[in-house]
């Protein structure tokens, strides 16, 4: 009987030791597995520090490594272009991108569809979710909203209430000294249809019409619609008087405003630090109505899960990061504050009290989400080129002719697929 008890005790001790060893090994294996599991995010330099800070919380919660790779310093679309050609081994699991990539990436099968609970969807503006959807399916989670505004140096000029006031004030400032710029709106040799959009919409231009269901119709182009062409003579006037000059590239526009050689600048919240550090007294407003309301393009920044996450065995983790963690108000708010962008989540938006972000938000009211269908890729260059041709000063092409030609070229590109 004593032997039996001792044997039993010994067996229990041995079993406990074995279980302890197995548990320790399992724990070590799990720890190593977690350490070996990495979710790779591609972003640009503007968002790198903010993405690192926000995802570090999720990283600790899940016991996963997050590797944030800067693919470009200041050209977010390069992420999209690199995703098309990257090898599976070097591909990201998640990318930070713009909503107007959605159609192209989804059509090419490069990003995975996502599901959000109804309660979560209610926390986002309908247009933000629609902007990151294609074919009725959601492909990206909106995290931030952005748009350009008219930055006014209020120490040099008054805030214009009408476009006539803007035009008069800008030209008067230009005449004050050699080298002064009327309106510092960036174009440069290749043009910039994005920054020029408030003037385009203000002249009643638009890119795509819609179907009866509200979907964008790539075969209903508004680049040279009758109302816009009727108003295009104003572009010729602006060119003659030097109100807008296509020779001004992005850096030129920025330097002109910061050096007080321009009282008006068209830019967005990505220049928050430059504005705050400049010491300039300024205000952000919407460009005043011209013939139609001069609204900007609305951009929705967000996060996509790539098809490669499945190849890497981290699809569920990548989707957890994007659909569960990045939809939370805290994550949205922290990303917004650290990156000077307004959060897409309306719940997070109620926490924002930054006056500059609020001004950009007001400047974006009534704005047009950039078209997210693949055919938009056929629009950018020619629309920008029409502005360059018609606002380059001496020898400029009459605006009506420049935009008609652009429309014809765009239509041909779209019809050719």
Express each pLDDT in 245-298 by its tens digit: 999 999 999 999 999 999 999 999 999 999 999 999 999 999 999 999 999 999
User: Which residue, 20, 68, 22, 16, is CA-closest to 44?
Assistant: 68
What pLDDT does 77 receive? 79
User: Which residue, 181, 212, 186, 189, is CA-closest to 199?
Assistant: 186
Least confident range from 15-19, 21-25, 39-43, 152-156: namely 21-25
d(CA 399, CA 239): 10
Render pLDDT for 324-374 as a digit per residue (tens, 0 to 9).
999 999 999 999 888 888 999 999 999 988 899 889 989 999 999 999 998
Domain 149-295+379-415: what homologous superfamily?
Periplasmic binding protein-like II (3.40.190.10)
**pLDDT score of 162 more than 80:** yes
**pLDDT score of 36 more than 70:** no
**pLDDT score of 165 more than 90:** yes
Q: Nearest 5 degrees, angle CA 97-CA 99-CA 101?
A: 75
What pLDDT does 75 receive? 66
Q: Where are the chain's structural domains? A: 37-145+301-358, 149-295+379-415
85-95 in b/e burial notation, b at 16+ Cβ within 10 A? ebeeeebbbbb
Phi, psi of 206 (to 5 degrees): -150, 165
User: Do 217 and 144 contact (CB within 8 A), yes or no?
Assistant: no
User: Do 201 and 287 contact (CB within 8 A), yes or no?
Assistant: no
Task: Give residue 194's region: left, alpha or beta (phi > 0; psi -120 to 50).
Answer: alpha
Mean of all residue pLDDT scores within the chain: 90
**pLDDT score of 205 more than 90:** yes
What pLDDT does 40 receive? 98
d(CA 43, CA 73): 9
Q: What is the pTM of this model?
A: 0.80
* DSSP-derived secondary structure letter, 181: B
Domain 37-145+301-358: what homologous superfamily?
Periplasmic binding protein-like II (3.40.190.10)
For residue 34, what pLDDT band results from cuts at 50, 70 and 90? very low
What pLDDT does 340 receive? 87
More confident residue, 19 or 402: 402
d(CA 275, CA 415): 43
Fold match between domain 37-145+301-358 and domain 149-295+379-415? yes
């Amino acid at each position: 009987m004593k032997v039996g008890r001792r044997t039993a005790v010994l067996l229990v001790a041995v079993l406990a030791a074995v279980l302890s060893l197995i548990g320790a090994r399992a724990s070590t294996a799990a720890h190593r597995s977690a350490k070996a599991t990495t979710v790779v995010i591609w972003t640009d330099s503007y968002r790198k520090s903010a993405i690192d800070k926000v995802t570090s919380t999720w990283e600790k919660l899940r016991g996963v490594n997050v590797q944030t790779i800067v693919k470009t310093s200041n050209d977010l679309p390069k992420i999209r272009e690199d995703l098309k050609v990257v090898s599976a081994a070097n591909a990201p699991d998640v990318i930070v991108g713009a909503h107007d990539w959605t159609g192209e990436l989804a059509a090419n099968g490069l990003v995975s569809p996502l599901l959000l609970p109804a309660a979560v969807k209610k926390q986002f503006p309908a247009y933000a979710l629609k902007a990151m959807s294609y074919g009725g399916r959601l492909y990206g989670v909106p995290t931030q909203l952005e748009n350009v505004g008219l930055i006014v140096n209020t120490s040099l000029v008054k805030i214009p209430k009408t476009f006539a006031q803007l035009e008069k004030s800008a030209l008067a400032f230009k005449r004050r000294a050699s080298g002064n710029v009327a309106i510092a709106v960036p174009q440069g040799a290749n043009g910039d249809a994005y920054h020029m959009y408030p003037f385009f919409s203000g002249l009643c231009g638009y890119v795509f019409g819609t179907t009866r269901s509200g979907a964008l119709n790539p075969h209903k182009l508004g680049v040279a619609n009758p109302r816009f062409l009727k108003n295009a003579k104003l572009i010729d006037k602006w060119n003659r008087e030097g109100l807008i000059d296509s020779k001004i590239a992005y850096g030129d526009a920025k330097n002109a405003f910061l050096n007080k050689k321009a009282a008006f600048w068209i830019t967005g919240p990505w220049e928050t630090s430059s504005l705050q550090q400049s010491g300039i007294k300024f205000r952000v407003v919407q460009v005043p109505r011209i013939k139609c309301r001069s609204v900007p393009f609305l951009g929705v920044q967000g996060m996509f899960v790539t098809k490669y996450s499945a190849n890497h065995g981290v699809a569920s983790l990548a989707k957890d990061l994007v659909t569960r963690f990045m939809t939370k108000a805290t994550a949205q708010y922290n990303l917004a504050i650290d990156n000077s962008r307004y959060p897409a989540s309306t719940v997070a938006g109620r926490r924002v009290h930054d006056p500059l972000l609020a001004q950009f938000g007001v400047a974006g009211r009534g704005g047009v989400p950039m078209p997210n269908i693949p055919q938009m890729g056929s629009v950018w260059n020619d629309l920008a080129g029409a502005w360059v041709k018609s606002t380059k000063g001496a020898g400029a092409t009459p605006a009506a002719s420049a935009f008609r030609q652009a429309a014809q070229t765009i239509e041909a590109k779209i019809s050719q697929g």
